[in-house]
Chains A and B, each alone.
Chain A
Amino acid sequence: MGDSISLVLFSGTDDKLNAAAVLAAGAAAMGRKVHVFLQYWALDAFRSDRILKDHGVAPEAGPEGAAAFQRHGGQHWSEILRQAKDIGDVEIQACSLSMDMFGLEVADLDPLVDGQEGVAAFFLHAGGPVTFI
């Protein structure tokens, strides 16, 4: 597990999810195992009926930052994550607490999500430094 990283995604805005997807893709390309744990608003953004909707950007973006992000374009973060899973070892788990809070089942989530687990189970599998986004 030495060469793995863990990304805990909390925020559900498209800019933060895009940044996380890029990190996951880069790590996967370089041969690292990537563990992703979805909490709160990030989990909400992975609902299959909402994943492609506009999730906005973080407040610190401001109007200028939001416009720059829109202009930059590129692939949707869900597509970058799909590629990351395709080229490497990327496991995406939903946090059970957040699933309960929103009343969700794994079937409500995009197929990118491999399953759901509690935080202790996540740390049993996850290795390396944790990045909280």
Chain B
Amino acid sequence: MTMLNIARSIDARGMPCPGPLMSLIGAIREGQVGDVIEVLSSDAGSRTDIPAWLEKAGHELLEVVEEDGFTRFDVRKAR
């Protein structure tokens, strides 16, 4: 696995749906094309909502990792 250069990390653990997705959308809007953004979420809805939104909005889901009690999403702003 190559090390990702994380431009921004969002710790949304403990935030209920749709908080983590809203935080990611905000970070994508503020970021530069090519930025990798990491989101940590303990909300079960994020597992379906973050991939769904990325597909709709045209950004790249690089990695989804189940950690202890939360999920980590690595995302690249593609446009």
| Distance in angstroms between the alpha carbons of A96 and B29 in the assembled complex | 36
Complex contact B25–A29 (CB within 8 A): yes
Complex contact B17–A30 (CB within 8 A): no
Q: Does B34 contact A (CB under 8 A)?
A: no
User: What residues on B are CB-neighbors of A30 within 8 Å?
Assistant: 52-53, 56
Least Cβ–Cβ distance between A3 and chain B, in angstroms: 11
Main secondary structure of the interface of A (DSSP, over half): helix
Question: A26 and B49 in contact (CB under 8 A), knowing A31-B56, A87-B25?
Answer: yes
Least Cβ–Cβ distance between A72 and chain B, in angstroms: 6
User: What residues on B are CB-neighbors of A66 within 8 Å?
Assistant: none
Main secondary structure of the interface of B (DSSP, over half): helix
What is the number of residues of chain B that contact chain A, defined by CB distance less than 8 Å? 15
What is the number of residues of chain A that contact chain B, defined by CB distance less than 8 Å? 13
Complex contact A22–B18 (CB within 8 A): yes
Complex contact A87–B56 (CB within 8 A): no
Measured CB to CB, the nearest residue on chain A to B49 is A26
Complex contact B18–A25 (CB within 8 A): yes
Complex contact B53–A29 (CB within 8 A): yes
Question: A74 and B21 in contact (CB under 8 A), knowing A26-B49, A30-B56, A31-B56?
Answer: no
| Distance in angstroms between the alpha carbons of A98 and B45 in the assembled complex | 35
Least Cβ–Cβ distance between B23 and chain A, in angstroms: 9
Quick one: CB contact mask for A58-102 with B, threshold 8 Å, 1 for yes? 000000000000001111000010010001000000000000000
- Among B17, B22, B53, B56, the residue within 8 A (CB) of A83 is B22
User: What residues on B are CB-neighbors of A73 within 8 Å?
Assistant: 16
- List B residues at the A interface (Cβ < 8 Å): 15-19, 21-22, 25-26, 29, 49, 52-53, 56-57
- List A residues at the B interface (Cβ < 8 Å): 22, 25-26, 29-31, 72-75, 80, 83, 87
